[in-house]
Amino acid sequence: MATVKVYDQNKQESGEITLAPEVFEIEPRAEILHLVVRAQLAARRAGTHNAKTRAFVSGGGVKPWKQKGTGRARSGSNRSPVWRGGAIVFGPTPRDYSFKVNRKVRALALKMALSSRLAGESLMVLKGIELAEPKTRLFASVAKTLGLSKALIVAPEVNETLIRSSRNIPGIRFTTPDQLSVLEILRHRQLVLLEGAVEPVQARFAKGE
């Protein structure tokens, strides 16, 4: 079992906590992480791109001129792709880019992402962050003390004071255990768990989620 130190917001040690090995000590596999990240990015794509085919371009089915005798190239419709204002050939159409990844694979990838941060000594457990008011300068001072630059902070629940204090600081993002994703963990070099969020994160995998 991995035992890590718990710090306060002044980066003073305030205890220790033991992390579940079945969640934080999994050997990362690049192909699984890549699959899940690709699935999450694909699901974010709107897929609303569209181009007009001959069926949707304005114009008539009337032949512009007779087939022979004009000295010009033959043409059957002013909706032809070779005409100005004509249709698009093989243009993009609306589609759904998402694809299914098995639940157990998603859970395994999330455990691998968490384990990679612990193995890389990029995981920090904080007793909590208390601010007198939602001010950016107050949170910036705490972040500087803790050495946070590009960090994902996992809080046990939504905290408007912390969110409003940190949203103008580049590289800092707050989330909750139920919203934690592989993509967000890998996008941030540092992972910060508030002490109250450790148990909910581990509880996500209690039944093999």
Query: What's the pLDDT tens digit per position in 91-109?
Result: 999 999 999 999 999 999 9
Structure confidence at residue 199 (pLDDT): 94
Structure confidence at residue 60 (pLDDT): 78
Q: Write the pLDDT tens digit of every residue in 132-173.
A: 899 999 999 999 999 999 999 999 999 899 999 999 999 999
Mean pLDDT of the chain: 92
- How many CB atoms are located within 10 Å of the residue 202 CB? 17
Burial 63-102 (b: 16+ CB within 10 A, else e): eeeeeeeeeeeeeebbbeeeeeebbeeeeeeeeeeeeebe
- How many CB atoms are located within 10 Å of the residue 14 CB? 15
Q: 59 pLDDT band (50/70/90 cuts)?
A: confident
Full-model pTM: 0.83
Structure confidence at residue 9 (pLDDT): 92
Distance separating alpha carbons of residues 105 and 125, to the nearest angstrom: 26
Judge whether residue 208 has pLDDT over 60.
no
Structure confidence at residue 61 (pLDDT): 81
Mean pLDDT of 117-122: 93
- With beta carbons less than 8 A apart as the criterion, state whether 26 and 202 touch: no
Element (H, E) at 124: strand 123-126
List the domains of the chain with CATH numbers: 2-45+99-203 (3.40.1370.10), 48-96 (no CATH)
User: Who's near 33: CB < 8 A, 6+ residues apart?
Assistant: 109, 112, 113, 182, 186
